[in-house]
């Protein structure tokens, strides 16, 4: 399961045209990968990947969902 959030910031008066994308997906060994991409609209972006073994608070060993991952990242 993959979840992606796309955001755009358009401020033509100041020539600011930016996009941001955050993608959360399960990796091969059942861990989570968070991919962040950002740049000017129409240009290739910088891509940052980060892997997490478990995004739940310590003590809770239940499997996380994509919604849980987004919640943890927003805190």
Q: pLDDT for 12-61, tens place per residue?
A: 899 889 999 999 888 887 788 889 999 999 888 899 888 887 655 555 54
Residue, of 15 and 63, whose pLDDT is higher: 15
The residue extents of the domains of the chain are 2-74
Model-level pTM? 0.62
Given a cut of 60, whether residue 68 has pLDDT beyond it is no
Q: Cα angle at 18 between 67 and 74, to 5 degrees? A: 25
């Amino acid at each position: 399961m993959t979840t992606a959030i796309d955001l755009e910031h358009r401020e033509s008066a100041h020539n600011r045209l930016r996009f941001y994308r955050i993608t959360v997906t399960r990796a091969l060994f059942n861990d989570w990968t968070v991919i962040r991409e950002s740049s000017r609209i129409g240009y290739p972006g910088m891509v940052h990947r980060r892997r997490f073994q478990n995004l739940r608070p310590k003590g809770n060993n239940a499997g996380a969902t994509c919604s849980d991952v987004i919640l943890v990242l927003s805190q």
